[in-house]
Amino acid sequence: MIVSIPKETLPGEKRVALIPANIQALSKRGLEIIVEQGAGENAGYLDSAYQEAGAKIVSRQDVFSQGEIVIQVQSFGANKRTADEDLGLLRQDQIIIGAMDPLGNPENARVLSGRGVTAIALELVPRISRAQSMDILSSMATLSGYKSVLIGAMELPRIFPMMMTAAGTLAASRVFIMGAGVAGLQACATAKRLGAIVEAYDVRPAAAEQIVSVGAKPIVLDLDTESSEDKGGYAKEQGEDFLRRQRELMTEVVARQDLVITTAAVPGAKSPILVTADMVRAMRPGSVIVDLAAERGGNCELTRLGETVVEHGVTIIGPDNLPATVPAHASQLYGKNIETLLNLLITEEGSLNLDFEDEIFQDTVIAHGGDVPQTRMRELLGLAPLAAPQPEETSTITDSPSEETEENN
């Protein structure tokens, strides 16, 4: 089995899908790894390190022509700027693995199925215990939460910790995190370590205990939040009446903060507006907002993706692809996610184990055999549900006391 790693082509993307440590582990299982020349350089992993780990350095053409499994960080669908250049390099029955933004760009599944490839979209890894080590959303969100606090601290005209000096006492900065998922909790922990007074809010009531566990104070609003969480543990999209009431109650909380970090995102949907222009106007001059939901439109009404703007004396930052700004550790985490997935996908004997009875593959395979097998993707594309496998017809044998039924798997 040949596994290949292309160099990322999206501008600003410095991560690589596998690092040399992953190559060593996978090579021991008998896999052959080929890596495009220079694929890991931007993350600090040189070609020589890959070769020492057992990989072969090849051209981009060879990566696609030889690889039976092609693994990327930003693959077709997620990379909307340059990935289409590689479509012509795909061949039938090839397996493509990577981030594909399937819910935000469902048509991509139809395109890939038309090429006859099998596509595994890593954003759809289910939130079950045995899949945690394959979850790229969680591993990348950890880094985004950490980095967002550093960005805010650099922009804020204050320091985070309280200091008592001969020249007077400096009050600690107040930091407020909106959304207590993986990114939000890491932001809470990072801000707390830097000495800030940290508060956080999440629409899911169960998040309060997690907020306390990282040293922050949970903010509780008088809202009905019983239906705020889906079965996968993600926050559900809320109606406009709920969001309007939430903004009304949140205005006073936001006004007293020095740094606000927003992280609320709904998979496949536009980010909810949590901070309006009026709320920004009520903040103190010199305050800062870092909007981690900028890539989906932003939680702040005034956010602009990839830009830093100043409105009403408040600095609003809309970062784009924060994990790529720490590519060494981001690649390390991403590579471990991939290594774990490959250990499930490929048997010890080196054969393919694409088991559609497994929930992980049911949820993540968005193209296979010229079709779109994933249930939610079919709904988004307006495709009819796939027929359930039917058992084979049974026949009665007159000289036997029993009948046997063989299920068609």
Residues classed as catalytic: 127, 132, 135, 138, 234
Pick from 17, 69, 64: which is nearest to 45 by CA?
Answer: 17
Distance (Å, rounded) from C-alpha 310 to C-alpha 320? 18
The residue count of the chain comes to: 409
Match 């922009």 to its residue by tokens.
Answer: 155
Are the C-beta atoms of 338 and 364 separated by less than 8 Å?
no
Residue type, 157: P
Two tokens, residue 106: 């469902």
N-terminal to C-terminal alpha carbon distance within the chain: 25
Encode 255-272 in three state secondary structure: HCCCEEEECCCCCCCCCC
Kindly compute the dihedral angle of the four CA atoms of residues 54, 55, 57, 58, in this order, to the nearest 10 degrees.
Answer: 140
> Residue-wise over 366-382: b if at least 16 C-beta within 10 A, else e?
bbbeeebbbeebbebee
Pick from 47, 127, 134, 64: which is nearest to 99 by CA?
Answer: 134
Write the CB contacts of 349 (distance below 8 Å, at least 6 apart in sequence). none
Pick from 75, 28, 74, 73: which is nearest to 55 by CA?
Answer: 28
Bridging pattern class, strands 288-291 and 259-262: parallel
* Angle at CA of residue 353, ends 349 and 356, nearest 5°: 165
